[in-house]
Amino acid sequence: MFLYFLLDTFPPRWISLRTLLLKLKTFKKCLRQYFHSKHQTCVIFERNFRSPHLQLQVVPVSGAVSEDIREEFRTSAAKEGITLLEMERDQLLSDIVPHKTPYFLIEFDSGPHLVHRIKGRFPLQFGRQVLASSNLLNVPGRVDWKACQASKEEETEMACTFRRKFQPYDFTREL
């Protein structure tokens, strides 16, 4: 399962960037709690490249392979000539990546995150490629999102099922 969150780079005037980032952090925390209840870890990768908006992809992964994920990202990055820098969990992305610089960020449930400052070419499906690899999820047919498209009815059913199951973790119910 891949969940997508698309956020405009320019938040509405009625919401501050700080408020937006706090809500995003809270959503991530709630998603992690939900997936932990299903004995899964959560990998979140964020790409800000070749698009007017930020893209977050949330991928639940079995606890059995969760220890291998960070190393698999490092190995795959080295093969692609991508430099991944460690980012401490309490560190701000802006401490590592200058404003308006394209980047790719991978967040893990524990330990440091990994970040790449994109200069020039970057494989758009890199995060999916690593997670779908035979060493992790072993679903090579899910690398390209276009191959994963479902009918409108299937998408609606999946969304309704997820909303129902996620409801106990959804902090927006309290707003």
Question: In the chain, what percentage of residues exceed pLDDT 90?
Answer: 52
Mean pLDDT value across residues 74-81: 96
How far does Cα 50 stand from its chain's mean position?
A: 17
**CA atoms of 21 and 153, how far apart (whole Å):** 32
Q: How many CA atoms lie within 13 A of 119 on its CB side?
A: 7
Mean pLDDT of the chain: 86
Q: What is the pLDDT of residues 49-66, one digit of tens each?
A: 877 667 789 999 987 777
Q: What is the pTM of this model?
A: 0.85
CB 114 within 8 Å of CB 106 = yes
**What is the side-by-side strand order in the sheet with 113-117?**
3-8, 53-62, 40-48, 103-107, 113-117, 85-87
Unique residue bearing structure tokens 């430099």: 83
Query: What pLDDT is stored for residue 6 in this prediction?
Result: 47
Q: How confident is the model at residue 19 (pLDDT cuts 50, 70, 90)?
A: confident
Residues whose CB falls within 8 Å of the CB of residue 129, separated by 6 or more in sequence, listed in order = 76, 123, 143
CB 126 within 8 Å of CB 104 = yes
Q: Nearest to residue 31, comparing CAs of 74, 67, 1?
A: 1
53 bridge partner residues: 8
pLDDT for residue 78 is more than 90:
yes
**CA atoms of 44 and 30, how far apart (whole Å):** 13
Give the three-class secondary structure for 149: coil
Residues whose CB falls within 8 Å of the CB of residue 7, separated by 6 or more in sequence, listed in order = 20, 24, 53, 54, 56
Question: In the chain, what percentage of residues exceed pLDDT 70?
Answer: 87
Between 175 and 79, residue with greater pLDDT: 79
pLDDT for residue 10 is more than 60:
no
Residues whose CB falls within 8 Å of the CB of residue 152, separated by 6 or more in sequence, listed in order = none
Mean pLDDT value across residues 18-23: 81
Q: What is the pLDDT of residues 80-138, one digit of tens each?
A: 999 999 999 888 888 899 888 899 999 999 889 999 999 989 998 999 999 999 989 89
In the chain, the N- to C-terminal Cα span, in Å, equals: 27
Which backbone phi and psi does 106 adopt, to 5 degrees?
Answer: -120, 125
